[in-house]
Amino acid sequence: MNDDPATPIPDQARDLSWGLSNRLFFRLYQCTNMLHKTGTKALEAHSITTQQWAVLGALTRPTFVPGVAVGDLATFLLVSRQNLAGVLQRLEAMAYIERVVDPKDSRSRLILLTAKGRSLWDANMRPVIADYYREALAGFSTEDKIHLVHYLDKMLRNFKAIDPDPTGGK
């Protein structure tokens, strides 16, 4: 493929590139849908969705264990505060998370896992998630996984260049 922008790209090469890109993005769309469907099914015994799984998992990160502001959590997860609000309300109603006063700013609240949420994550969800990962990545070598993470990171950087504020600034 010619990288010189002054040299026209033949229609056939352009069509091939577009077709391959279209196929790739459609596969990503399908994989996203199957991740939500099969991930939620894997955790249905615990009444946890993939969105709730992502929040609980994020809250187990060492930097978030003491608590995290909603905006920072939304930025980390690349979702809007509005989309995150409903998930947080449901997790709070199930007593898996709580909102506490930020010791640095009494006007702000931080989100953190409760003891019940930590127990759910450690004792119940992690083993199920480990099995799920094993099944979903069957046939992938360690090298395959490293390459996939590399390419997804590269694509994520490109998406962030397209939209520097994926949370919508809200």
Tens-digit pLDDT profile for residues 60-83? 999 999 999 999 999 999 999 999
User: Is 122 inside any structural domain?
Assistant: yes
Residue 156 lies in a domain: no
In a domain, 106, yes or no: yes
The token duo for 123 is 């004792």
Residue partners of 64: CB distance under 8 A and separation at least 6? 58, 73, 76, 112
pLDDT score, position 135: 97
Residue 58 belongs to some domain of the structure: yes
pTM of the model: 0.85
pLDDT surpasses 90 at 132: yes
Helix (H) or strand (E) holding 35: helix 11-42
- 8 within a domain of the structure (yes/no): no
Q: Please report how many Cα atoms fall inside a 13 Å half-sphere around the Cα of residue 135, on the Cβ side.
A: 11
75 domain-assigned: yes
Give the pLDDT of residue 33: 97
| CATH number reported for the structural domain that contains residue 74 in this entry | 1.10.10.10
Domain of 112 in residue numbering reads as 33-138
In a domain, 111, yes or no: yes
Say if residue 89's pLDDT is above 60. Answer: yes
Res. 169: pLDDT tops 70 = no
Percentages helix, strand, coil for the chain (3-state, rounded to 5) are 65, 10, 25
Write down the residue that tokens 């990160």 correspond to: 61
Nearby residues of 72 by Cβ (< 8 Å), 6 or more positions away: none
Q: What is the pLDDT averaged over residues 5-29?
A: 81
In whole numbers, what is the pLDDT of the chain averaged over residues? 92
What was the pLDDT predicted at 11? 72
- Do the domain assignments include residue 63? yes
Domain count, the chain: 1
Please count the other Cβ atoms lying within 10 Å of the Cβ belonging to residue 154.
Answer: 10
Query: pLDDT grade, residue 13 (50/70/90)?
Result: low
**pLDDT tens digits, one per residue of 31-63:** 999 999 999 999 999 999 999 999 999 999 999
